[in-house]
């Protein structure tokens, strides 16, 4: 099949399935209940300072006043296998959700790199940043070996300081071979990559994160970052947790990122059993300030 035609047909199928209330993921053995929206947590004076509820008409692009894109297939420092695009085949509003769709297709991006998968990576860089507060999103993630969905943040000084000196807060990451586990991690100079300071949360009873929506959030305060799943705190990081002599770099504004990677050093490549297309559905993203 012509790759361009395949992409168009996939986009049409995406809209039809979501409008019908169906998931593109394989049927699950168990169905996890949909999580309620979590209220602002540690600071009762916190107020909503920024959000996207993704209520634009079906087929719309994400709000360009709130989101921009990383584009290309250069591996993104992790030997990822996808090319990120801003095409509606890979990212669109459907049924009140932001939908990021990973496709198996032959595609050459504007960077000239040919890849066998496409997906999308959205960010608020140069559009919105936040220092401290509660940042959360209600998300239903994809499922399958080789998939790597994430909701995370980078320091807004990345162009000057570089990574990891800018700091990175991974509000959640999931790799396909661990369908019931998420990871919350901070990275900085001297504690990046596999040395990042991390916590994990496992759903009980064999439930998978792909079986329903969950609220993924971080409570970020001076000298403290706490990771939460459905308002349940599971990991707190402070300067005392850093390696000796390492610098705490979570004291300046960060921007938000949503993406679905395919392959990479951590998850490994897709398997023959991995079904495509796969989608990550985002009901909302909300940023609560410190208040007070």
Q: What is the dihedral of CA 226, 227, 230, 233, to 10 degrees?
A: -50
Contact 272, 266 (CB under 8 A): no
Residue where the block lists tokens 């040395």 = 195
- Where is 1: in which H helix or E strand? none
Contact 259, 119 (CB under 8 A): yes
Q: How far apart are CA 279 and CA 25, in angstroms?
A: 8
- Token pair recorded at residue 110: 């504007």
- DSSP H helical segments within 104-184, as ranges? 158-161
Who contacts 194 (Cβ-Cβ below 8 Å, separation ≥6)? none
Instruction: Sort 259 into a burial class: Cβ within 10 Å, 0-12 / 13-18 / 19+.
Output: buried
Q: Percentage helix, strand, coil, to 5, in the chain?
A: 10, 40, 50
Signed CA dihedral, 132, 181, 52, 192: sign only: positive
- DSSP H helical segments within the chain, as ranges? 3-19, 158-161
Active site residues: 168, 173
Collapsed DSSP state (helix, strand, coil) of residue 200: strand
Q: How far apart are CA 6 and CA 208, in angstroms?
A: 29
Q: What are phi and psi of 6, to 5 degrees?
A: -60, -40
């Amino acid at each position: 099949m012509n790759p361009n035609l395949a992409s168009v047909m996939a986009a049409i199928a995406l809209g039809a399935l979501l409008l019908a209330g169906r998931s593109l993921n394989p049927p699950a053995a168990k169905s996890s209940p949909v999580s309620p929206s979590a209220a602002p947590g540690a600071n009762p004076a916190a107020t909503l300072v920024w959000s996207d509820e993704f209520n634009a008409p079906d087929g719309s692009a994400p709000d360009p006043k709130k989101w921009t894109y990383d584009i290309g297939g250069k591996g993104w420092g992790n030997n990822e296998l996808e090319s990120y695009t801003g095409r509606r085949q890979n990212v669109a509003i459907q049924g009140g959700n932001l939908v990021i769709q990973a496709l198996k297709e032959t595609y050459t991006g504007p960077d000239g790199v040919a890849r066998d998968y496409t997906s999308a990576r959205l960010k608020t860089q140069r559009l919105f940043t936040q220092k401290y507060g509660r940042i959360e999103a209600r998300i239903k993630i994809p499922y399958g070996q080789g998939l790597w969905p994430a909701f995370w943040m980078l320091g807004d000084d990345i162009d000057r300081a570089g990574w990891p000196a800018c700091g990175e807060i991974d509000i959640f990451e999931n790799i396909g071979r661990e369908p019931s586990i998420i990871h919350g991690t901070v990275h900085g100079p001297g504690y990046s990559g596999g040395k990042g300071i991390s916590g994990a949360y496992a759903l009980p009873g064999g439930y998978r994160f792909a079986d329903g929506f969950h609220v993924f959030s971080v409570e970020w305060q001076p000298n403290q970052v706490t990771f939460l799943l459905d308002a349940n705190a599971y990991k707190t990081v402070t300067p005392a947790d850093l390696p000796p002599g390492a610098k705490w770099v979570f004291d300046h504004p960060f921007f938000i990122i949503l993406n679905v990677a395919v392959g990479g050093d951590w998850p490994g490549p897709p398997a023959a059993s991995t079904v495509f297309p796969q989608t990550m559905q985002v009901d909302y993203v909300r940023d609560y300030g410190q208040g007070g």
